[in-house]
Amino acid sequence: MSRRQYALPHRDASEPPDDTGCTVLHVDMDAFYAAATLLSHPELVGTPVIIGGGNRGVVLSATYEARRFGVTSAMPMSRARRLCPQAVVLPPDHARYSAISAAVMETFRSVTPVVEPLSLDEAFLDVSGAVRAMGSPATIGQHIRDTVHDEQGITCSVGVASTKFVAKIASGLAKPDGMVVVPRDEVVPFVQQLPVGALWGVGERTEDALLRLGLRTVADIAHTPLATLVRGLGEATGRHLHDLSWGRDPRSVEQVQREKSIGSDQTFEHDIDDSAEIHRRLLALSERTAARMRAAGLTGRTLTLRVRFSDFTTITRSKTLREPTDSGRAIHEGAVALFDALGLQRARIRLVGVRMEKLVEASASPIQGVIGEPEHGWRDADRAVDRARSRFGAGSVRPASLIERDTSTSPGRHRDLS
């Protein structure tokens, strides 16, 4: 695995950067969903692979080999296939993603309790309290990279800086599988060499507005009068970008609590008007949602069903369960009851989704036994399935109703039913 440590362009590459005071780390997994999926397909490592499914779906992730052809996350699958027709398309393995993410976040929290997750695969860390015990911020960053690689089999890139904004930019420049340290006294030249699109909060519309003002680099923004920026971009945006252009970012790393909800949805390749088929799809989504909850050590009590029709009209229905649960069977029963209560007759449905809310730590909400359930019942079975899926992949163990239909699927096609 590469152990690169980048320096600023004007620094002697043999001179280690000074990380004094650079106690903010941004850690970002490299092509996380693709890398995690390939743990079950080692023969595809080093080849173009796209994670997604269906012509009406979008790309969840892609290997760097596929990205070279222009494939990006959130791109329509139909376009991704045209750009890289030789790519192998694999369905997402959400249970594995959740399990790896939970393990990675625990690695972060073993270093510092001040962790601010941004998604399953990236987070900010404030390591100011860990420096005395573990060494310099760069040493801590390297420890995290080594641990993630050794324990999870995937790589991550780390940005080390004095602010969140600069640390996030640095981790992007480190990709893939590297680390960039931006010394505190070199933040301004580092930031001002960048294009305006690199600034936090600059989307396509704001970038277009900056280009119309003749501002192409961050240095251009820094040397534009604040009044001009406010007049052209508005008070809040103008002041925000002016501060960032001088490396000023007062935001601290916020210790974030557990997720407030966990769910899954699926957009169908063709609209469905068969209630039995919807029930079957809800089973796959319920199993996926429950697996993610178990991986996160959570249970939930409020169930929400989302249904989108062919005309894109979307409705939601919710119910509160009697007891918190992490059981796919219980979630599926509730989701089917909510769907059937809609009384839909041959309605053409484009998407369904299942979400669990009011989440609590599983250890804080012991799940009550069900009358008539064997002593070693559904909960034990669920955990046995989790272990099998973790070892052999998401499709290794599935309810029978999700297997039978797949026997008619032609070889080489991957259907995202999980």
In angstroms, the CA 119 to CA 122 distance is 6
Q: Which of 151, 158, 143 is nearest to 29 (CA)?
A: 158
Q: How far apart, in whole angstroms, are the C-alpha atoms of residue 198 and residue 244? A: 10
Tell me which residue of 209, 208, 235, 213 sits closest to 224, measured CA to CA: 213
Longest CA–CA separation in the chain, Å: 74
Distance, in Å, from the CA atom of 399 to the CA atom of 267, rounded to the nearest integer, reads: 21
The sign one gets for the Cα dihedral 52, 156, 96, 263 is negative
Binding residues: 28, 121
Nearest by Cα to 247 from 161, 313, 339, 324: 161
238-244 contacts, C-beta under 8 A, 24 or more apart: 240/201, 241/199, 241/201, 241/202, 241/206, 241/210, 244/165, 244/191, 244/199, 244/200, 244/201, 244/218
Distances (CA, A) of 341 to 74, 75, 279, 330: 33, 35, 13, 17
Residue 413, φ and ψ in degrees, nearest 5? -95, 140
Binding-site positions for Mg(2+): 28, 121
Residue 155 CB neighbour total at 10 angstroms:
19
User: How many Cα neighbours within 13 Å face the side chain of 413?
Assistant: 10
Closest to 149 measured CA to CA, from 188, 104, 106: 104
Is 122 one of the catalytic residues? Answer: yes
Q: Which tokens go with 259?
A: 């997720």
CB atoms within 10 A of CB 263: 22
Q: Tokens representing 213?
A: 């003002």
**Of 65, 116, 122, 287, which one is the catalytic site residue?**
122
Burial of 312 (0-12, 13-18, 19+ CB in 10 A): exposed
Q: How far is CA 8 from the centre of its chain?
A: 29
| 3-class secondary-structure state, position 333 | helix
**What are the catalytic residues?**
122
